[in-house]
Structure 1
Amino acid sequence: MENTEANHTEDPNKTAPPVETNYEAHKANPGPAPTVNEPDNKGAGQAMKWIIPVVVVVLLIIYFFFFRNNVSN
């Protein structure tokens, strides 16, 4: 079970601290880190559309070569 504090409330009108640029000066109450924008132009989908069919074919070859005649009656 999670340990949650039911009495925690946050003021919705309070402004967020600015993005942190000097951590050493604000160690006690640091602001959020700056965001990192990285391009996502080479996703895993390009590799998966080739890897999955090859793996399926290899597994089918292994099945038919080793286990096709191994039927118990």
Structure 2
Amino acid sequence: MENNTSNHTEDPNKTAPPIETNYGAHKENPGPAPTVNEPDNEGAGQAMKWIIPIVVLILLVIWFIFFRDNVTK
């Protein structure tokens, strides 16, 4: 891999462009998109803490029913 130094410099005192509301008028230099604030009170973690143990138990039962004799042979 090559170690290329970047020639990009950005002025830290420069203000960011305003939030974009009319993209068609500013296609060449669009501003940032507006942020989306969605509540995360019912995330996937609530379901996963129930689904994972149930799936593990089902897989253990299947393993004990079908594959327990293969260990001793």
Q: Indicate the TM-score class for this superposition, using the shorter chain for normalisation.
A: 0.7 to 0.9
Gaps of 5+ in 2: none
Equivalences for residues 5-44 of structure 1 within 5 A: 6-44=6-44
Distance apart, 1:26 and its partner CA: 1.4
Partner of 1:55: 55
Name stretches of at least 5 consecutive residues in structure 1 with no aligned partner: none
Query: Structure 1 residues 45-54 or 5-14, which shifts more?
Result: 5-14
Amino acid at match of 2:20: E
Deviation by residue 1:35-61 (Cα, 9 ceiling, x = unmatched): 111111111111111101111111111
Distance in 2, matches of 1:66 and 1:32, equals: 57
TM-score by length of 1: 0.84
